[in-house]
């Protein structure tokens, strides 16, 4: 049986205060020199990763409802891939927009 995802909203202005232990751990981490940080478990990021990196992706753009004329075969192909075809249309358009913006730089 499928369960509904749980949503939790956290008010950053109303967080509980840090405990003495949490404060001590944060202070110890802040005081540690960078050359003592163990990065061995973090995989290296390739140039290909950074080539497709997009700054500020955590801020979701506002969606606007619109009507678009799309060729029937294109729409059939998108719908044949299953649920979320409108999201796929948006992703395709966004990818092309970002590529065009990058070419303009």
Residues in the chain: 105
* pLDDT tens figures, 10-21: 888 888 899 999
Name the band, by pLDDT with cuts 50, 70 and 90, for residue 58: low
CB 78 within 8 A of CB 89: yes
For 105, residues 6+ apart whose C-beta sits below 8 A from its C-beta are none
For residue 24, the model assigns a pLDDT of: 97
For 18, residues 6+ apart whose C-beta sits below 8 A from its C-beta are 26
According to DSSP, residue 6 is labeled P
């Amino acid at each position: 049986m499928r369960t509904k995802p749980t949503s939790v909203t956290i008010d950053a202005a109303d967080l509980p205060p840090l405990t003495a232990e949490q404060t001590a751990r944060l202070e110890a981490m802040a005081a540690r020199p960078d050359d003592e940080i163990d990065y061995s478990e973090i995989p290296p990021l390739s140039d290909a990763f950074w080539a497709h990196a997009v700054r500020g992706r955590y801020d979701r753009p506002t969606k606007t409802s619109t009507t678009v004329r799309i060729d029937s075969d294109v729409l059939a192909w998108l719908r044949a891939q299953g649920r979320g075809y409108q999201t796929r249309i948006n992703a395709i358009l966004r990818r092309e927009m970002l590529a065009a913006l990058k070419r303009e730089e």
